């Protein structure tokens, strides 16, 4: 199928090309030229962007749930519903994210995601311009159960434990190789060995729900940790005498910082600090969404615990924040309007940066010749107008 997207402001990794056309052939981006240069008669389908922005499809690497469903439900219906919600909000690929839970429930969730991924990959190659196909499940993000109790956040304390390489080996096998990220607290006994093991398996290690001090954090980075889970949240805070893991992450160029840009988890001033420290290339916008995303205020669950959502804030009964109701298009909007980041840089934080972090940037994450035609058309307010997905 030959597709032309015309009259667009095309967001590339380097600039915004205003009034350009974008051609897609065999599910890949083939040409990007000024509007009117390409002959429309050469194409099977033409989409007029009408002067709106075209960006790469958003990639959410940390999302638990949405629309009333959760990864931990362990059902095809749950993952499919989540994937269909994501595509409507511009997310063309995501990592389903688990919670600290019983071994039995974790294994069920992992096997279910592996089965869903297998079904997606087994379908014929095509290009969907209707927005009816679900977003692609790119893999699994295991958030827990290897966390510090003092920084557990909304993770269930009942199932917290020290890192276990034997258990991790079983999880990886059950996932059929789909585990992409494992979050753990690097100060726990056995954590450094687990980090080395996971890196040997090609798996990204993120430091999360951790009370690690500055020196321990630096050691973990040397061992192979390349990411921190929702920076400043679920981790030792920064002070001038003990910068902690948050301080260590901000000054280490090897480390990506996940960020929940909703002005609830982080004050805009804190977000500006992260941008000043990490620049445009080492921030990953995440939703960390729970099942209330896309739904109204009310009572929900996360990791088996009751969550009350009020005014888009999701909290446990004791007031602890319990994920978010954020979507990535809103996170990008917030980065532009709350933090003052350029649109191109904010888009990068939700596309190319997560793609690079999990090692898929040769195929996805930016509008460049030869890459997958995962595209989003949106207006000035980041309302999603059209999604194009390479399947």
The set of residues, in sequence order, having a beta carbon less than 8 Å from that of 97 and lying 6+ positions away, is 62, 63, 64, 71, 140, 141, 142, 143, 288
- Could you tell me the maximum CA-CA distance found in the chain, to the nearest angstrom? 66
Cα–Cα distance for residue pair 189/168, rounded to 1 Å: 15
For 63, 204, 293, the CA distances from 99, given in Å and listed in that order, are: 10, 17, 17
Which residue of the set 288, 345, 361, 374 is catalytic? 288
Cα–Cα distance for residue pair 164/211, rounded to 1 Å: 19
Look up tokens 């993952």; give the residue.
79
Is there a catalytic annotation at residue 288?
yes
Q: Which two tokens stand for residue 200?
A: 């040997």
Strand residues in 42-101 grouped as ranges (E): 45-48, 53-56, 58-63, 65-66, 69-70, 91-97
Cα–Cα distance for residue pair 102/189, rounded to 1 Å: 20
Is the four-CA dihedral 227, 349, 95, 374 of positive or negative sign?
A: negative
Omega of the bond leading into 316 within 30 degrees of 0 (cis) = no
Cα–Cα distance for residue pair 103/140, rounded to 1 Å: 16
The alpha-helical segments, DSSP class H, found in 154-309 are: 165-174, 191-200, 214-223, 244-251, 268-278
Is the four-CA dihedral 135, 341, 246, 155 of positive or negative sign?
A: negative
**Residue 226: which of 199, 260, 246, 191 has the closest Cα?**
199
**Residue 261: which of 287, 236, 282 has the closest Cα?**
287
The full DSSP string for 313-355 is EEEETTS-B--B---HHHHHHHIIIII---HHHHHHHTTHHHH
Cα–Cα distance for residue pair 209/194, rounded to 1 Å: 16
Instruction: Give catalytic residue positions.
Output: 288
């Amino acid at each position: 199928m030959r597709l032309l997207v015309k009259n667009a402001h095309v967001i590339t990794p380097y600039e915004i090309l205003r009034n350009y056309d974008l051609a897609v052939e065999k599910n890949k981006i083939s040409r990007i030229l000024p509007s009117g240069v390409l002959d429309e008669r050469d194409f099977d389908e033409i989409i007029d962007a009408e002067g709106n922005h075209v960006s790469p499809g958003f990639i959410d690497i940390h999302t638990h749930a949405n629309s009333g469903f959760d990864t931990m439900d362990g059902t095809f219906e749950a993952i499919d519903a989540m994937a269909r919600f994501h595509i409507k909000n511009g997310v063309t690929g995501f990592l389903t994210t688990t919670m600290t839970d019983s071994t039995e429930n974790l294994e069920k969730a992992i096997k279910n995601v592996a089965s869903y991924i297998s079904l997606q990959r087994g379908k014929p190659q095509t290009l969907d311009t209707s927005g009816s196909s679900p977003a692609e499940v790119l893999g699994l993000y295991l958030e827990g159960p290897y966390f510090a109790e003092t920084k557990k956040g909304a993770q269930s304390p009942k199932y917290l434990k020290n890192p276990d390489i034997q258990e991790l080996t079983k999880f990886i096998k059950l996932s059929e190789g789909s585990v992409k990220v494992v979050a753990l607290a690097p100060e726990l006994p056995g954590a450094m060995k687990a980090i080395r093991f996971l890196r040997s398996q090609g798996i990204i290690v993120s430091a999360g729900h951790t009370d690690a001090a500055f020196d321990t954090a630096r050691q973990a980075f040397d061992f192979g940790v390349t990411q921190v889970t929702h920076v400043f949240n679920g981790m030792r805070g920064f002070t001038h005498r003990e910068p902690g893991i948050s301080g260590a992450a901000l000054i280490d160029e090897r480390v990506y910082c996940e960020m929940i840009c909703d002005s609830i988890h982080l004050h805009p001033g804190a977000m500006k600090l992260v941008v000043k420290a990490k620049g445009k290339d080492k921030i990953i916008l995440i939703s960390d969404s729970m099942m209330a995303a896309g739904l109204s205020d009310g009572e929900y669950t996360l990791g088996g615990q009751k969550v009350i959502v009020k005014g888009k804030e999701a909290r446990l009964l004791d007031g602890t924040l319990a994920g978010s109701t954020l979507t990535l298009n809103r996170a990008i909007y917030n980065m532009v309007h709350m933090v003052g980041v350029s649109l191109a840089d904010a888009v990068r934080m939700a596309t190319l940066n997560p793609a690079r972090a999990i090692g898929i940037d040769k195929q996805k994450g930016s509008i460049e010749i030869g890459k997958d035609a995962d595209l989003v058309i949106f207006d000035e307010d980041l309302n999603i107008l059209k999604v194009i997905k390479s399947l």
